[in-house]
């Protein structure tokens, strides 16, 4: 428990390839494609760090972390089909390289691999946790799809959506790590709150950066979400407060957002403080994540979880001033706010 879990990430990657492989070369050319270059392994890290709060990391914890990454990767494969995406992390997607049918089956294969791995260890509590998270993920994605180009989407609606899309699996990863390490029910719930708050912050930050990304750095063009009709927090805020709200509304309703229009939208978002507001909301959720950790005694593992906040939530401060008192909108009932404890300096980094 006295060191970072980063040294275990190569083992996670190796185990991931091992359990996903079918043993048939022609099939493996397809099913292994989305994990050949895995990302930051954020969710497996959450499993490992959460488990290390309560004990040593053993093979069972490793397999739980691998199962969580299988679930995450499966959701990305299915997302790429829905979005008709050609690239993921700068790499051609399965649906682009092969077919949508193959991609659906690869996603299903990854889900099945996760369930088999957890069932092998007879981890029923963890199976319940991950299946609940998958349901939330599906509901979040369906709700988002039903609200494409919906300019009346509220901040609460948005938060409900990103709870399903992102925060639910972050929370599940933390709970699963704690469950694998035999933590108490209260400890499991508390670390789950940390994960959910971090998930909110991570998704809001990602939605902000979508307006400033490009294919080289993020694997997607600037303003890609809005082009696809996904209404995120900066847009919701701008529609509510900007003097150019009608212009923004017209741009969105046109559903023809060319690069020049995206540039104009970004100017509106910056001028009215909507970008700064979203940054502030991400920082607020980071604060709540760290405060959730105050339940646990100081330790290297707890500090690693705090450091994960500052490592993940990277937002450009130059994009607008943060409101001094961010407005805290309601969040889904699955999450209890944990607002007690001393102030911390914040984790926004450039």
Question: Angle at CA 71, nearest 5°, toward 69 and 73?
Answer: 65
Per-residue pLDDT at 220: 52
pLDDT per residue as tens digits for the range 272-314: 999 999 999 999 999 999 999 999 999 999 999 999 888 887 6
Count the neighbouring beta carbons within 10 Å of the beta carbon of residue 308: 19
Per-residue pLDDT at 325: 37
311, 270 in Cβ contact below 8 A?
no
Q: Which residues contact 298 (CB under 8 A, 6 or more apart)?
A: none
pLDDT band at 93 (very low <50, low <70, confident <90, very high): confident
Q: Parallel, antiparallel, or unpaired: how do β-strands 91-92 and 87-88 relate? A: antiparallel
User: How confident is the prediction for the chain on average, in pLDDT?
Assistant: 85
Q: How far apart are CA 243 and CA 200, in angstroms?
A: 28
Q: What global pTM score does this model have?
A: 0.86
Both tokens of 276, joined, read: 């700064």
Q: Which residues contact 106 (CB under 8 A, 6 or more apart)?
A: 30, 31, 33, 34, 74, 77, 94
The mean pLDDT value for 163-178 works out to: 97
pLDDT per residue as tens digits for the range 63-73: 999 999 999 99
pLDDT per residue as tens digits for the range 109-134: 999 999 999 999 999 999 999 999 99
Least Cα distance to 17 among 2, 37, 39 occurs for 37
Pick the CATH number of 6-319 from 3.30.70.1290, 1.10.600.10, 3.40.50.620, 3.20.20.70: 1.10.600.10
Report phi then psi at 276, rounded to 5.
-60, -40
pLDDT per residue as tens digits for the range 312-346: 876 654 333 333 333 333 333 333 332 222 232 23
Report phi then psi at 205, rounded to 5.
-60, -45
For the chain, the structural domain boundaries read 6-319
Q: Which residues contact 28 (CB under 8 A, 6 or more apart)?
A: 21, 22
pLDDT per residue as tens digits for the range 199-256: 999 999 999 999 986 544 544 557 888 988 999 999 999 999 999 999 999 988 886 7
Both tokens of 175, joined, read: 């709970």
């Amino acid at each position: 428990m006295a060191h970072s879990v980063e040294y275990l990430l190569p083992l996670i990657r190796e185990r991931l390839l091992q359990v996903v492989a079918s043993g048939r070369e022609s099939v493996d050319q397809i099913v292994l494609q989305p994990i050949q270059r895995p990302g930051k392994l954020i969710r497996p890290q959450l499993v490992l760090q959460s488990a290390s709060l309560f004990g040593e990391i053993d093979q069972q914890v490793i397999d739980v972390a691998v199962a969580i990454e299988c679930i995450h990767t499966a959701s990305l494969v299915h997302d790429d089909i829905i979005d008709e995406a050609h690239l993921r992390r700068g790499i051609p997607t399965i649906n682009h390289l092969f077919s949508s049918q193959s991609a659906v089956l690869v996603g299903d294969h990854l889900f099945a691999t996760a369930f088999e791995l957890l069932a092998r260890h007879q981890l029923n509590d963890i199976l319940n946790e991950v299946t609940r998270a998958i349901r939330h993920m599906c509901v979040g994605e369906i709700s988002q799809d039903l609200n494409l180009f919906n300019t009346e989407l509220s901040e609460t609606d948005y938060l409900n959506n990103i709870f399903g899309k992102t925060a639910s699996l972050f929370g599940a990863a933390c709970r699963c790590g704690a469950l694998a390490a035999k933590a108490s029910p209260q400890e499991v719930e508390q670390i789950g709150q940390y994960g959910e708050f971090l998930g909110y912050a991570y998704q809001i930050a990602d939605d902000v950066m979508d307006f400033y990304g490009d294919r080289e750095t993020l694997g997607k063009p600037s303003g890609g979400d809005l082009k696809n009709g996904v209404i995120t927090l900066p847009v919701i805020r701008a529609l509510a407060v900007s003097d150019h709200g009608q212009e923004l509304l017209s741009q969105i309703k046109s559903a023809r957002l060319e690069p020049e229009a995206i540039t104009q939208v970004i100017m509106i978002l910056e001028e009215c403080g909507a970008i700064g507001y979203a940054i502030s909301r991400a920082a607020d959720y980071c604060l709540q994540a760290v405060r959730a950790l105050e339940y646990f005694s100081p330790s290297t593992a707890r500090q690693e979880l705090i450091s994960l906040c500052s490592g993940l939530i990277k937002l450009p401060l130059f994009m607008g001033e943060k409101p001094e008192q961010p407005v805290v909108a309601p969040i889904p009932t699955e999450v209890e706010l944990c607002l007690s404890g001393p102030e911390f300096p914040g984790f926004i980094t450039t």
